[in-house]
Chains A and B, each alone.
Chain A
Amino acid sequence: MAITRRTAIAGGLAAPFLMTGRAGAQAPTRNETLLLVQEYGPNSLDMQGIGSSQPVNGVALNCYDRLLRFKPVPIPGGGGNTIAMGELEGELAESWQVASDGMSCTFKLRDAKFHSGRPVTAKDVKWSLDRACTIGGFATTQMNAGSLEKPEQFVVVDDKTFRVDFVRKDKMTLPNLAVTIPFVFDSELAIANSGGDPHAKEYLKNNIAGSGAYKVESWKPGVETIYVRNDAWACGKLPQLRRIIARDIASPSTRRALIERGDADVSYGLPPKDFKDLLDGGKINVVGVPIPNGVWGCYLNTQVGPFKDVRLRQAVAWVMPYEKIKQAALFGRGVSMDGGTTPKVAWPQPFPYSSDVAKAKALVDAAGGPFSTTLYFDAGNATVAEPMAVLMKEALATIGITVEINKVPGANFRTEIAKKTNPMVLNRFAGWLDYPDYYLFWTMHGNNSIFNIAAYQNPALDKLVDAARFAPDKASYDANVVDFIKLVNAEVPMVPINQPTHDVALQKSIGGYQFQPCREPDFRYLTKA
């Protein structure tokens, strides 16, 4: 064939395609490098800072150390490890001891070094915990949730000994030291670069000053974050992976294609249908953990609108298409919350309702017959919430409740639920600390937090929840929990629908998956064959 101008151009256009095989082969570090694809990455490197997004938890987890961490326990269905609330192990703490009066805890620190080479001292721990308590915003709220309220509680005994004084006996204090907020900064480095700000917010937002298992090699917000292993990490077994590349890929279809073709090692945040397909396909591992303390619920306004009438709230619980929602909205990736029997000390747990149209219809008729209402949900959750809402609309129509669906854009949703006037809201809430009283404190307690979407007010419930929060022993705790579960079973300010599964897709060569309550990837345990 003669080389004409036309063939030359065609060849030129095709050349880059033909070359790709070689381009892939020349990457030498592929086996020590993990490529993770996620929807969006961190907007800061400082989880204590105000306005930090969800993925910043991952930075805190991998680049910083806490006093304590959750002990890995095997996932019942296999595939890796999860955590159990009460089981903790030392991270920066070599050992810890709760005082005999139960009102303080003393920590002995390990010989750990910051990335800067400075040893970690009790002074650094105090500076960091003080910061979390005083910086405001989410960090302070989270600290308060475990009764960690003021700097005076944090005491430097000597360089290697640190004490936390309790303001009250609270079973959540120690677990709350293991979440991704109370992590330890290199206080000298932070202060030196703070430019006069006592919290060094600007510096820590853009720089890591920690002792954690990974350092941030490069961070391009909205594009990628590259982590490299800290070979001097002292707080656990040295991770196998030397380098982690976390790329932000907005389109879920692209993320799925990348993991199916084998180009990405780990993919987070796919729609439930994709996880199911990948699982059925069998080429990719999908590890699912039912989200502890997390549940999709339909909140029914108890103060204004038709659902003031408890009979109508029960009617919704009786007519909810639990099984259809599980299959059609979650593709089986979740646990249905219907058909409960005796109340247990657990949350979420099935309520004693199941789909029974006759019972629901009778309740609606008794309450005065057909009416119309509106169902709200966050557009950001639409992949799952939209089919759910449609199924609910269809089911409620059979008992004479006409539902109009209102999809609210993400930035608006909070303003909308803060009004507390919406008759029906579909929302998913998950607490970091896995205790029933913790969940109800946020969603049904008379303190009327933003997540008490049903605006439920009941002094009897408040008393039980408060009693459980600060219960002196297990027996009284269990009794209070069972009592408030019975109460909300009958009152149903929220109809629990389904406990969703937190899914992650991994190549078969990736092992050591560890679930964390913050639901971000923990690179420290991951292995690559």
Chain B
Amino acid sequence: MLRMIAARLKTTIPSVIGVIIVTFLLTRVLPGDTAAYFAGPAASNEAIAQIRSELGLDQPLPVQFVSYVMALVKGDLGTSLTTGQPVTADLAQRLPASGELTLFGLLLSMAIALPLGVLAAVKQGSWIDHLCRIVATAGVSLPVFFTGLLLVYVFYFILGWAPAPLGRIDVFFSEPPRVTGFVLIDSLIARDLDTFRAAFTQILLPALTLAIFSLAPITRMTRASMLAVLGADFVRTARASGLSGGKVIGTYAFRNAMLPVVTTLGMVFSFLLGANVLVEKVFAWPGVGSYAVEALLASDYAPIQGFVLTMAILYVALNLMIDILYGVIDPRVRLEG
């Protein structure tokens, strides 16, 4: 197992190096002058030149690249000009927020999508199958910011059930001591149920927004792979042997149908992590997505590079985890580096 992981990691090294080079070059190719932007409205040309040399932007590209890589080796991703803080500190602060929201959204989505997909496959052509189709189509065709605003409008503005969309936690609660960075878990560790409840109500609407959006790929994939498995010989054999419907579907069919679903889950997760920018904006969620977009608008190189690199590493880690999960779900799957 460890040998397998080591071998897998080795193959990812070239892609990480590629990501470093490409993001460096891409951010430099972007139009816009960082120094001019940060010199502020009334700056003179000398002031701009001064900022440019302070940021090292007057150096030739290869020199800039070498100093970037040297800093990277030391774990220094540079300083964000938009927040004024080191990028590593910003990401460490914001990644758990995005992670918590995305994971919670994904769990919510799975809780709805998996049963729905299985039922749709078992009762193919029934009303539940149509419901599954409608839910999936509607979910994927509503843009996330629209769903988000709609939920805010209905549950906060009109009904007043949900708390104010002010980020991870209500302003009058203080954050629990940081252990995992996930407020829900940290508040439980601190045995602070009030804070847990406050954080839980805050996360519910944004997570629901993400869940609605990610329903489609999960339900459709579950349904399709269940259908394929239900038509297989071993299911017919199991039925013929007189096993109960629940046992056939739950134990035999579902487990075999899980492989493609897990792949989809991995993809949906990494996709949501980067793509929940708009949800983060609507709910003032202090995550990495909105961080990267704001940096992009200001031509602020360091956070963009840091964000892409972090995402690449996360993606690699996620794929590795999924590969390992394959082996757990289906012992026949052999992984070779």
Residues on A facing B (Cβ under 8 Å):
16-17, 19-20, 23-24, 26-27, 29-30, 33, 35, 37, 40, 42-44, 50-53, 136-138, 140-142, 145, 205-206, 220-224, 245, 247-251, 253-254, 257-258, 260-261, 263-264, 380, 409-412, 414-415, 418, 442, 449-451
> Given the complex of chains A and B, what is the CA–CA distance between A17 and B161 in angstroms?
5
> Given the complex of chains A and B, what is the CA–CA distance between A258 and B166 in angstroms?
9
For B286, what are the chain A residues with a Cβ–Cβ distance below 8 Å? 220, 222-223
Q: Contacts A51-B51, A136-B50 given; indicate if A254 touches B297 (C-beta within 8 A).
A: no
For A224, what are the chain B residues with a Cβ–Cβ distance below 8 Å? 167, 171
> Given the complex of chains A and B, what is the CA–CA distance between A30 and B170 in angstroms?
12
Q: Given contacts A16-B200, A261-B164, list 11 more A-B pairs with CB under 8 A.
A: A17-B201, A51-B39, A136-B50, A138-B43, A222-B82, A222-B294, A254-B284, A261-B156, A411-B31, A411-B32, A411-B37
- Kindly identify which residue among B84, B200, B282 contacts A251, using a CB–CB cutoff of 8 Å: B282
Closest chain A residue, CB of each to CB of B159: A17
- Smallest CB-CB A-B distances: 8 pairs: A411-B32, A27-B172, A221-B83, A411-B299, A51-B38, A263-B164, A138-B40, A43-B84
Q: Is the CB of A414 within 8 A of B36?
A: yes
Q: Contacts A20-B162, A51-B81 given; indicate if A257 touches B153 (C-beta within 8 A).
A: yes
A-B contact pairs, 29 of them (CB 8 A): A17-B162, A17-B201, A23-B163, A23-B198, A27-B172, A50-B51, A137-B50, A137-B51, A138-B42, A145-B42, A205-B84, A206-B84, A221-B84, A222-B94, A222-B291, A223-B286, A247-B166, A250-B284, A251-B281, A254-B282, A257-B156, A261-B160, A263-B166, A410-B37, A410-B297, A411-B30, A412-B299, A415-B31, A449-B42
Q: Contacts A16-B200, A16-B201 given; indicate if A411 touches B194 (C-beta within 8 A).
A: no
> Given the complex of chains A and B, what is the CA–CA distance between A459 and B50 in angstroms?
30
For A449, what are the chain B residues with a Cβ–Cβ distance below 8 Å? 42, 44
Verify if B90 is at the interface (C-beta below 8 Å from A): yes
> Given the complex of chains A and B, what is the CA–CA distance between A15 and B200 in angstroms?
10
Verify if B54 is at the interface (C-beta below 8 Å from A): yes
- Kindly identify which residue among A20, A205, A261 contacts B157, using a CB–CB cutoff of 8 Å: A261
- Kindly identify which residue among A19, A40, A137, A409 contacts B40, using a CB–CB cutoff of 8 Å: A137
Verify if B262 is at the interface (C-beta below 8 Å from A): no
> Given the complex of chains A and B, what is the CA–CA distance between A414 and B298 in angstroms?
11
Verify if B58 is at the interface (C-beta below 8 Å from A): no
Verify if B313 is at the interface (C-beta below 8 Å from A): no
How close is A293's CB to chain B, nearest CB, in angstroms?
13
Size bin of chain B's contact surface: 35 or more
- Kindly identify which residue among B41, B54, B85, B281 contacts A50, using a CB–CB cutoff of 8 Å: B54
Closest chain A residue, CB of each to CB of B168: A223
For B326, what are the chain A residues with a Cβ–Cβ distance below 8 Å? none
> Given the complex of chains A and B, what is the CA–CA distance between A414 and B41 in angstroms?
9
- Kindly identify which residue among B42, B81, B162, B291 contacts A43, using a CB–CB cutoff of 8 Å: B81
How close is B129's CB to chain A, nearest CB, in angstroms?
21
Verify if B266 is at the interface (C-beta below 8 Å from A): no
| Most chain B beta-carbon neighbours within 10 Å: one of A40, A44, A250 | A250
> Given the complex of chains A and B, what is the CA–CA distance between A412 and B29 in angstroms?
12
- Kindly identify which residue among B38, B43, B162, B165 contacts A254, using a CB–CB cutoff of 8 Å: B165
Verify if B93 is at the interface (C-beta below 8 Å from A): yes
Closest chain A residue, CB of each to CB of B198: A23
> Given the complex of chains A and B, what is the CA–CA distance between A380 and B32 in angstroms?
14
Q: Is the CB of A138 within 8 A of B39?
A: yes
